[in-house]
Amino acid sequence: MNVFLLRRLPLYQGSTVDNDRFASMKQRDPKTGRGKFTGRTNLIGPRLRSVRLLHQPPMTIELVVQRASLLSGFVITANMVTKIETQRRAVYDYEVYALSLAVGVDPRFLLGFTDDPGPLELLPLQPASG
């Protein structure tokens, strides 16, 4: 899907996707007029890292991996989290869900739809029922 089509997609509660959020991910080449990839492959990386480090004591990547896997039931690895945080890997929707459970924030915060992460409350470690 073309990134520029996302500008017009309606979201929940009557809002629309913010154009500036996608502007740095894809820019126009002045010579050819075509889109040029800038190296960023996700939106949640910087927010995930900042929330992870806000916890006292700061959460390690290994702890995030353990919590995400146990709470969601999905396979999440340290390599995946590292690449997501450095924006070298795209993120699936189930991974956003698992990582938001792991760090104790609303998934909408990680996606940039809200600037309020909510209370940084960690759920107790219990395996996902399923």
Q: What CATH number did the domain enclosing 58 receive?
A: 1.10.260
Q: What is the pTM of this model?
A: 0.68
Buried/exposed 52-91: b ≥16 CB within 10 Å, e otherwise: beeeeeebebebbbbbbbbbbeeebeeebbebbbebebeb
In a domain, 125, yes or no: no
Range of the domain at 83: 45-111
In a domain, 124, yes or no: no
Q: What percent of the chain has pLDDT over 70?
A: 65
CA distance linking residue 23 with residue 21, whole number of Å = 6
19: enclosing H helix or E strand: helix 19-23
Tell me, yes or no, whether 25 and 60 share the same domain.
no
pLDDT tens-digit series, residues 22-41: 555 556 666 666 666 566 78
Do residues 73 and 101 make contact, with C-beta atoms less than 8 angstroms apart?
Answer: no
Query: How many independent structural domains does the chain possess?
Result: 2
pLDDT of residue 30: 67
Tell me, yes or no, whether 8 and 31 share the same domain.
yes
